[in-house]
Amino acid sequence: MSSATSLSVDKRDIVALEGVTKRFPGVVANDSVDLAIRPGEVHVLLGENGAGKSTLIGMLSGLQQPDEGRILVDGEPIAITSPRHALALGIGTVFQHVMLVPTLTVAQNLLLGGPWWQRPKTEELEARVAEITRALGITVKLHAKVSELSLGEQQQVEILRAMVRNSRLLILDESTSMLTPKGIDELGALMRRLVEQGLAIVFITHKLKEAAAFGDRISVLKLGRKVGEIPPERFRALGEQAIVSEIVELMFGKQKDDPEASERPVRTIHAGAAPLLQVHELAVAPTDDAPGLLSISFDIRPGELLGIAGIDGNGQKQLAEALAGQRATVSGSVRLQGTPIEALSVGERRERGLRYLTDDRLGEGTVGTFPVSINFFLKQVGAAPFWRNGVEQRAEIDKRAAQLVREYDVRTPSLKTPVARLSGGNIQKVLLARELAEGAKVVIFNKPTYGLDLANTLASRQRIRNTAARGLAVLLISTDLEELLSMCDRIAVISNGSLVGTVENVGDARSKIGRLMIGLAA
C-alpha cells in the first residue's frame, strides 16, 4: 500500500524522496527509501536509533547527498547542495540540539545570517515576528537572552526562525527529547496550528505515543529501510491504542521476506549447572546524558545465551560497561564462577575470562590509525609472548595476527593496514577475534550486528552461537528483536535502566517482549 501512494509523484507533494539510498563505510544508512511530504500534514518519521532517520534529514537539509535515488521539490528533481540551498527552497530544520547562540538575544539570533554589509533590519523583523506569533498564538520575548529561556522556549525560537525565513517544510529532529511533558504537549499544539496554516512538518521521534498523538501520517524506518506507512485516512480510522499496536507490529513484527530470520535450533542447557555469571542488584547512578541502572539481577549458565531487549538508550550500554568494569557501580555484586569481581579493574576482569565486545567499534573498540595487527592485542599490551620484558616482539605479533586474520576471515590488504580503513564487518571480525581468543568464559556482545551488511550479520551471529555452544555464558544486548528471538534461550527486557521482565524464548515470546518494551505488562 505504501509504495503505491508514494511512488506516483503527487502534485500536492512539497518534497518527495524516490528510492533514496545513502551508504557510509560499512553501513547502509538508507536503503531505497520513498517518502512523500505534503502541506497540511504532520509526517512522523519513526524508528530507533540507527534506523536512518538522521541521515534522511541530513539529505533533506542539504548536509549530505544521496548515493542513489532522487529528491523532488515541487515535483522537480533537484540536488540540495547545502543547508543554505535547503533554506532557499523553503526547507527549515530544527535539530535535536538547540543551535542558537546563548549569549545573544532572540532578535540577534534571528537576524544572524543576513547580508554582512547591511545593518540588521530590526524593525522589519519585529513586525514579521509579531505577525507570525499572533497567528500561532505564541509569545516570544525578542529581547531576552537565549540563555535565559527554557529549552521549550528556545525551540519555539528555532521554529520561529524557520518561519521568518519563509519555510514551507519544517523538519523537527527529535525535538521532544529535551522537553518536559508540558513542553511536549505545547509543541504538539504548535505543530497542529502550523499545519493548519498549510505548512508541511516532518516530525522525527522514536516515541510511539508522540507519533500516535501528533501525527497525520507515519512512516516507520527500520535498519535503513522503510518498513511501512500509515496514511492519514487509516490514521483517522484507528484509535490511538490501535495505532500504537500497529506501529509495534511494523517495528518489531516479523517480515515475511526477512532473509535474516532463521529457526533457532533447539538446544539443551543443563538447568542444574552452576551459573557462570551472577549479577545481583546491580545499580549505576544516572549521568547527565544517560540513564542509570536500577537493581539489575540475572544469572547466565554455561552454554546459555541471555538476550537483553529494549529500545536503544534504556541503559544497555551502561549495563555492558558496568559489567566490564568501565563504569562505576553504586551497589550490587557481579560473580564470575562464584567469585565476586565487582571490585576488579577492567584488565583483571578480562584476565578472569569476562570479555566485552563493544558496539562502538571505532570509537572505543579499536584505535583507527593503528595497524590491524596491533588492534588484535590492544587489551593484552605488555603480555607474553607478544611483549617480552616490555619490548615488542614484532614477529610473534605478526604471526599470531596472521593466524587470527585467517581464522576469522578478516579481509584486509595487509596486517599493517590501519584498522579504520577496513569495512565495518571486518573491523567487527577483528573485535570478535580479540574477545573470543583463549581464556574467554563470559562474553558480553553489545549490538554485535549493528550496521553490518547481511553476510557479516549472519557470520557474526554464527560466531555468537558457536561461542555459546562451546559452553561459554553469553549476554547478547541488541535492539533487533529478530536477532534475539533467533538466538537466545531467554530474553530480558530493559526499560529505563531496569529489567522489566524475562521471557523464555518459546511460543509467543515475540508479542510478550513487544508488550514489555512499550511498557505494558507481559
Partner 1 sequence: MSIDTVPAAGATALDATAAVVTRRDIQHRLLMTIGPILAALIIAGCILLAVGVDPLAYYGFVLERGLLSPLGIQQTLTRMAPLLFLAAGLIVAFRAGMWNLGGDGQFLLGAVTAAASAPVFVEVMPAWLALICSFVIAMAVAMLWSLVPALLRAYQGVNEIITTLMMTFLGTSLANVLVKLMIRDPGTTVPQTRTLPVEDRLPRLFDTTITSGLLLGLAAIITVHLVMTRTAFGLKLRIVGANPRAAIHAGLGVPNLTIAVFAISAGLAGLAGAVDILGVQGNVRADWNPAYGLAVIPVVFLARMNGFAAIGFVFLLSVLSIGGESAARRLGVPNHFTLVLVSIVLIVLALAEYIDHRYNQSRRA
Residues that bind partner 1 (CB under 8 A): 324-326, 345-350, 356, 358, 360, 363-370, 374, 378-379, 381-382, 387, 390-392, 402, 405-406, 409, 413-416
Our CB check for partner 1 shows the closer of 109 and 366 to be 366
Q: How many Cα atoms sit within 13 Å of 25 on the Cβ side?
A: 10
Cβ proximity of 18 and 69 under 8 Å? yes
Smallest gap from residue 387 Cβ to partner 1 (A): 4
Which grid coordinates are listed for 35? 517518502
230 pairs with which residues across the strands? 218
Nearer to partner 1, 110 or 372 (CB): 372
By C-beta, is 229 or 321 nearer to partner 1?
A: 321
- Please state the closest distance from residue 328 (CB atom) to partner 1, in A: 12
CB-side exposure of 516: number of CA atoms within 13 Å? 23
- Nearest partner of 285 among 328, 332, 344, judged by Cα: 328
Of 205 and 358, which CB lies nearer to partner 1 in the complex structure?
358
Q: Least separation, in Å, of the C-beta of 399 and partner 1? A: 10
Q: Does residue 423 come out as left (phi exceeding 0), alpha (psi in the -120 to 50 range) or beta?
A: beta
Least distance (Å) from partner 1 to the CB of residue 69?
20
Task: Considering the complex, state which of residue 305 and residue 419 has its C-beta at the smaller distance from partner 1.
Answer: 419
Please say whether the beta carbons of 21 and 69 come within 8 A. Answer: yes
Q: DSSP per residue over 207-276, as a string? A: -HHHHHHH-SEEEEEETTEEEEEE-HHHHHHS-HHHHHHHHHHHHHSPPTT-TT--PPPP----TTSPPS
Complex with partner 1: residue 245 or 426, whichever CB lies closer: 426
Query: Which CB, 215 or 325, lies closer to partner 1?
Result: 325
**Amino acid in the structure at residue 107:** A
Quick one: 226 or 349, whose CB is closer to partner 1? 349
Task: Report which of 96, 41, 12 is spatially closest to residue 214, judged by C-alpha positions.
Answer: 41
Grid coordinates of 196: 493548519
At its nearest, how many Å lie between partner 1 and the CB of residue 462?
A: 17
In angstroms, the first-to-last Cα distance of the chain is 31
In whole angstroms, how close is the CB of 482 to partner 1 at the nearest point? 28
Closer to partner 1 at the Cβ: 357 or 474? Answer: 357
Residue closer to partner 1, measured from CB, 126 or 351: 351
Bridging pattern class, strands 225-230 and 27-37: unpaired
Cβ 24 to partner 1 shortest distance, Å:
16
* Cβ 441 to partner 1 shortest distance, Å: 16
Spatial contact of 409 and 455, defined as CB atoms under 8 Å apart? no
Q: How far apart are CB 408 and partner 1 at their closest, in Å?
A: 11
Return the SS3 of 418: strand
Please state the closest distance from residue 497 (CB atom) to partner 1, in A: 21
C-alpha distances in Å from residue 480, one per residue of 49, 281, 450, 510, 514: 11, 26, 9, 12, 11
8 A C-beta contact, residue 516 and residue 503: yes
Q: Is 110 left (phi over 0), alpha (psi -120 to 50) or beta?
A: alpha
